[in-house]
Amino acid sequence: MSSFSDFVTVVSGLPRSGTSMMMRMLEAGGIDPVVDGLREANEDNPKGYYEFEPVKALKEDDSWVAGARGQSVKVIYKLVYDLPANVDYRIIFMQRDLEEVLASQETMMRRDGLDPDAIGRDILLQLFQTEVIEFRRWAEAQRNIRIFYADYGRVVSAPEGVAREIAEFLGGPMNTRAMAEVVDPNLYRNRA
């Protein structure tokens, strides 16, 4: 059995798929997050984003990654490819209905004064589907990656069961009750 210090726990998925919620769960369960607090909580993520700015520049500088063993970090799926191959990862990949993801993104874009219709919903939907399939194939073929798929709707409706599954996947003792308690069903605002 491995311990959390043997790998970096990565929370990934599409934008607006529940990655911040999963980071909160892991923190409540006993895994410290790698965050910088630069992006503050707002109406779209009232409990915080749990982001770490250097993730965006992984391709240029991944020197911090090995030091994140035993912790969790949020890495959008497109940037997981840039994580160094000499480190082991346990990825919790958030899956959410793509219509819900798009609805949530559109709401956030409108709040930010952007036009979500500029690209086209059907194009985005197709792009996300293709990219997620490609990512899953790639991730499952990597020797240094183990992946757990967490369905957003199931996390919200059955958080204790999912918390237990995550603890088993990560192979260490976690406070699964505390993990379940941080899930707020009231934040499930964009439903398909």
The CATH number assigned to the domain holding 81 equals 3.40.50.300
Q: Encode pLDDT of 16-28 as tens digits.
A: 789 999 999 999 9
The predicted structure's pLDDT at residue 169: 97
Please check whether residue 109 lies inside any domain of the structure: yes
* Residue-range definition of the domain harbouring residue 85: 4-185
Number of domains making up the chain? 1
Share of the chain above pLDDT 90, in %: 61
163 found inside a domain = yes
With respect to residue 178, please indicate whether it lies within any of the assigned structural domains: yes
- Is residue 100 very low, low, confident or very high in pLDDT (cuts 50, 70, 90)? confident
Report pLDDT for 184: 78
Average pLDDT over the chain, rounded to an integer: 86
Please give the Cα distance from 189 to 185 (Å, whole number). 8
C-alpha atoms less than 13 angstroms from C-alpha of 166 in its C-beta half-sphere: 35
- 129 pLDDT band, cuts 50/70/90, is confident
pLDDT above 70 (res 116): no
Residue 191 inside a domain? The answer is no
Q: Is residue 158 in a domain?
A: yes
Region for 16 from its dihedrals, namely left if φ exceeds 0, alpha if ψ lies in -120 to 50, beta otherwise: left
Q: Is the pLDDT of residue 118 over 90?
A: no
